[in-house]
Amino acid sequence: MLLVHAPPWTPLLKTLLHHNHNHHFSRPFFFSLSNFTKPFSIATRFFSHSRRSSILPMNGQGLPASGSSPEHFTGDWYSVPELRLRKHRFTVPLDHSRGPHSSPKITVFAREVVAEHIIEAKVIMFLSRKRGETYSGFQLRNWMVQPLGFILTGKPWVVGKEEQKLPYLLYLQGGPGFECRQPTESSGWVQKRGTGLSTPLTVSSMSQFESADELADFLEHFRADNIVNDAEFIRVRLVPDAGPWTILGQSYGGFCAVTYLSFAPQGLKQALITGGIPPIGGGCPADSVYKACFEQAIHQNEKYYKRFPQDIKIVQEIVNYLAEKEGGGVALPSGGFLTPRGLQTLGLSGLGSSSGFESMHYLFERAWDPTLVPAAPKRISYNFLSSFEKWLAFDTNPLYALMHESIYCQGSASKWSANSIRTEVEDKFDAIRAAKEGLPVYFTGEMIFPWMFDEIHALKPFKDAAHILAEKKDWPPLYDVQVLNNNKVPVAAAVYYEDLYVNFKLAMETASQIAGIRLWITNEFMHSGLRDDGSKRKLRAIVVTNIMMMALGSGIYVAHTAAFRSELQPMAPDHIGSSTSSRQRDLVFIVNPLGANGRTGKEWRKLVPYLRSRLDKDCNICESITSGPCHAIDITREAIREGADAVIAVGGDGTLHEVVNGFFWAGKPVVSQVKEFTRSTALGLIPLGTGSDFARTFGWKNDPHEAIERVARGLRSSIDVGVITGEGCDHHYFINVADINLSAKAGFYASRYKRFGNLCYIIGALQAFIGHQNQDLRIRFNDGPWETCPQVTALCVGNAKYFGGGMKITPNADPFSRNLEVVILQNFKWYDFVLKLHRLYSGTHLSVKNVSDRSVHSIEVEDISGKGGIYIQSDGEHLGFLPKKISILPAAIQMIL
């Protein structure tokens, strides 16, 4: 949600203009909460204490763009390269809850932009309303504003035609508290609330307040509720006949868009969201947010060090250096203090954007001063210390730190949520301990901690105000779930599967509450997908075009050039509740009554009444009880041939494994062999088994009611499947993990002790160790040359992350990645497993000696000795012995998420 994620102005503008041109939009207008380029600028206010429970309805007539009134001043047109611009200022109430004519007033600054050469279209600029800035957005007196958008026209631009009446597209920029660049040319952008020209809330301007209480009272108004109030104030005065407009919300702008849908849907024609579906639970869901954020941060750290393993030692050296200094750190150029925990905050932007890994790596390249004099003491370079401060940018944008946790609060205090959750995962984020033990030092993600107001010089004056805001309980509502449940506005959203800032699972939970929303789920982008440039420029065009076409009901745009993977098809759900389809869905539930030593059958019988009460209205439900091994395979194939909308496995990984194999027959997908194929059958899961390891990859609990809600939502996306082949053997498919030698043997024995629950995996491992020998194997990756891998204890191939009752054996595996992760353990003794078992469960074993991993499309494995007897299994099912080839089938099955 940082400035680094704001999209470049021109490429995004071209995309929108092109789309609007083709769809006969006359004048989309992007409205941004900071600096705007259109006569619209909206601000997320952070001003007087207004406690709203709803957005005030706005009545009034739109003013011509060229007109002026006491509430709206319009400047003259002027030019910069490739653009025509003019300024607008709106006088709006500081506190909308007191009515549209209340005092005091603030001024919102907006810049209107007409693009001269972009597909002969006209663009009217971004609005900005970030109170506290005066740049390219509304001029908000003592406000912080963020870019809201710009206006695009679909008609040829001609000098003198700037006054054409055209529709508006309001762009809601991310944040809170970071500005965009000035539009000095077509590559410019607008600034966010409280920055630039929109009455910036800077270190110096906020020092005008005499007390922390006054500052906190001022800041409490700079949230999504006030942003929407400002937008509505301006819309009814700017848009002809006070008509509705389209909004596009990126990141925190998406949060604002959902607030808009909650309290002022009458002002919207369509809502488009990229990486910005917020958690909408009552109170303060920040704890859930940060728990998910820490988990994703761990994953991103693992990926970072896998790409730059040389940085493990560099970061460890820096941490040790800082910890050994007097006071536990070193002085920063501005007067702040860099400590090990402060160093970890580099992950705030380094772990979450497409180029963040590279930027962070290059930063560490210049961490140390060169040794110019023999025996001179080692020192961290000034360049590194200066770059560290610029990286965080709190000296110019303190608002982000002050208001960050409050964006989640409704009637409850955040109480420094990120800091509280960190204490629960401190074993993974203790930088000093990790460095001393030779472990990778993990960086934190999008989190603000109270100690930052002691160590960062620019934030020190606002420490007391920050604590007041953290303890504030009476935050007004930001969302109305009932209104969202009955939403009538067309909504489309891009959801990024590995988003560090807006958690995928939480976003999906909210999406289930917004009636009619259409989703594009993708792992092709990070949170910065709307901004990515260079080789991903065409991909950005897909992001924008897909969500706009989905909102229009035109389906999904799929790139057909070689630059894009054909399997990268965003999966808008076929059905989302009863609001999007009049046809009932046909669902087949396949139940293994003997799963988990009979517990699955018992739990299923208890669950059926609730399942029918929840799904009967919208679905035809078929229960199929398996009678023995492989029966689920046959049931699944028959269901697909009969055109079922979804087949849901009820049980553990074994039942899921059989259902997955039922999607295929004779080496091909069953659906490809159906002559009159009319719809795609999705795979679902209600985890009620012993291990339920596949569900762990998605963070799903063994909660059947939660699983039924996923089925009810019907949101789906394509996932990868692994396939195992061998001479004279049928194709065998797996969705989780395949493994060879010791772990496969342990799984074979564990299957005999399922009555002991997850303990069966420990028993199986102990039995497998009896008489075990490490094996020399011949391996070939991606059909390349054969190579010898000596003394292999276990070789695991992961499409997902977990096996063996919770061991995170392939921590970098991702069922959306179109790759398999191979982890090889060599020359392990029984005591190595005992001593390192906790590393296997936590997924931190990749840095252990004699452990290696790599990402592959395929792997072939042979027994060098030729004696045979080396076990192989997948998803807990014994598949015989080597030799075998394991390959990936990208996007092979649609999965209900």
User: Using CA atoms, how far apart are residues 11 and 752, in angstroms rounded to an integer?
Assistant: 60
**CB 523, CB 496: distance < 8 Å:** yes
> What letter does residue 345 receive in the DSSP assignment?
G
How far, CA to CA in Å, does 659 sit from each of 18, 647, 683, 685?
Answer: 44, 8, 8, 10
Chain mean position to CA 467 = 28
What is the mean predicted confidence (pLDDT) over 552-580? 35
What is the mean predicted confidence (pLDDT) over 670-678? 76
> Beta strand 619-625 with 786-798: parallel, antiparallel or unpaired?
unpaired
Question: What are 704's two structure tokens?
Answer: 């059947």
Q: Which H helix or E strand runs over 836?
A: helix 830-842
Q: Which residue has the higher pLDDT, 29 or 462?
A: 462
- Of how many residues is the chain composed? 897
- Write the pLDDT tens digit of every residue in 677-698: 667 899 999 998 767 899 999 8
Q: Which strands sit side by side in the sheet containing 518-522, from one edge to the other?
A: 169-172, 245-250, 268-274, 491-496, 518-522
Q: Does residue 483 surpass a pLDDT of 90?
A: yes
Give the pLDDT of residue 317: 97
What residues form DSSP beta bridges with 218?
A: none
What is the mean predicted confidence (pLDDT) over 740-753? 80
Among 90-99, 307-316, 465-474, 592-601, which is the least confidently predicted range? 90-99
Q: Does residue 745 surpass a pLDDT of 60?
A: yes
Reported confidence tier of residue 114, pLDDT bands at 50, 70, 90: low
Q: Does residue 191 surpass a pLDDT of 60?
A: no
Among 109-118, 310-319, 571-580, which is the least confidently predicted range? 571-580
> Beta strand 268-274 with 245-250: parallel, antiparallel or unpaired?
parallel
Q: Does residue 66 surpass a pLDDT of 80?
A: no
Reported confidence tier of residue 715, pLDDT bands at 50, 70, 90: confident
Among 59-63, 208-212, 328-332, 483-487, which is the least confidently predicted range? 59-63
Helix (H, G, I), strand (E, B) or coil at 804: coil
The closest of 421, 409, 422, 404 to 472, measured between CA atoms, is 409
Give the pLDDT of residue 326: 93
User: Using CA atoms, how far apart are residues 823 and 830, in angstroms rounded to an integer?
Assistant: 18
Q: Which residue has the higher pLDDT, 387 or 64?
A: 387
Question: Any alpha helices (H) in 167-206, and if so which ranges?
Answer: 203-206
Reported confidence tier of residue 542, pLDDT bands at 50, 70, 90: low
Q: Does residue 1 surpass a pLDDT of 60?
A: no
Asked whether the CA dihedral 861, 867, 873, 876 is positive or negative, the reply is: negative
The closest of 410, 47, 11, 39 to 193, measured between CA atoms, is 47
User: Using CA atoms, how far apart are residues 176 and 192, in angstroms rounded to an integer?
Assistant: 8
Q: Does residue 595 surpass a pLDDT of 70?
A: yes
Reported confidence tier of residue 196, pLDDT bands at 50, 70, 90: low
Reported confidence tier of residue 889, pLDDT bands at 50, 70, 90: very high
Encode 722-735: b = buried (16+ Cβ within 10 Å), e = exposed.
bbbebeeeebbbbb
How far, CA to CA in Å, does 871 sit from each of 629, 722, 786, 798, 826?
Answer: 20, 18, 20, 16, 16
Q: Does residue 700 surpass a pLDDT of 80?
A: yes
What residues form DSSP beta bridges with 862?
A: 778
The closest of 837, 52, 11, 81 to 478, measured between CA atoms, is 52
- Write the pLDDT tens digit of every residue in 7-26: 555 555 555 544 444 443 33
User: Using CA atoms, how far apart are residues 790 and 88, in angstroms rounded to an integer?
Assistant: 72
Ramachandran category for residue 44: left, alpha or beta (phi over 0 → left; psi -120 to 50 → alpha): beta
Phi, psi of 405 (to 5 degrees): -70, -25
What is the mean predicted confidence (pLDDT) over 423-437? 94
Options 225, 499, 618, 653, the catalytic residue:
653
User: Using CA atoms, how far apart are residues 521 and 526, in angstroms rounded to an integer?
Assistant: 12
Reported confidence tier of residue 6, pLDDT bands at 50, 70, 90: low
Q: Does residue 754 surpass a pLDDT of 80?
A: no
Q: Does residue 580 surpass a pLDDT of 50?
A: no
Q: Does residue 801 surpass a pLDDT of 90?
A: yes
Q: Which residue has the higher pLDDT, 393 or 561?
A: 393
Among 21-35, 51-65, 401-415, which is the least confidently predicted range? 51-65
Active site residue 653: yes
The closest of 152, 166, 145, 140 to 30, measured between CA atoms, is 152
**CB 760, CB 754: distance < 8 Å:** yes
Give the pLDDT of residue 122: 33
Question: What are 366's two structure tokens?
Answer: 């210049």
Give the pLDDT of residue 660: 97
- Write the pLDDT tens digit of every residue in 121-163: 333 333 333 333 322 332 222 222 333 333 333 333 344 446 6
Give the pLDDT of residue 310: 95
How far, CA to CA in Å, does 615 sit from each of 143, 608, 619, 680, 714?
Answer: 48, 10, 6, 20, 11
Amino acid at 343: L
Residue-by-residue DSSP string for 624-636: EE--STTHHHHHH
Give the pLDDT of residue 757: 66
Give the pLDDT of residue 37: 28
Phi, psi of 244 (to 5 degrees): -75, 160
The closest of 693, 804, 686 to 753, measured between CA atoms, is 804
What is the mean predicted confidence (pLDDT) over 560-588? 44
What is the mean predicted confidence (pLDDT) over 522-530? 75
Residue-by-residue DSSP string for 462-489: GHHHHHHHHH---PPP---HHHHHT--S
User: Using CA atoms, how far apart are residues 425 and 444, in angstroms rounded to an integer?
Assistant: 11
User: Using CA atoms, how far apart are residues 131 and 135, in angstroms rounded to an integer?
Assistant: 11
How far, CA to CA in Å, does 432 sit from each of 20, 339, 549, 838?
Answer: 53, 10, 50, 20
CA geometry: angle 332, 333, 339, nearest 5 deg: 5
What is the mean predicted confidence (pLDDT) over 790-814? 93
SS3 string, 601-616, reads HHHHHHHHHHHHHHHC
Give the pLDDT of residue 29: 38
- Write the pLDDT tens digit of every residue in 321-379: 999 999 999 999 999 999 999 999 999 989 988 788 999 999 999 999 999 999 899 99
Mean pLDDT of the chain: 79
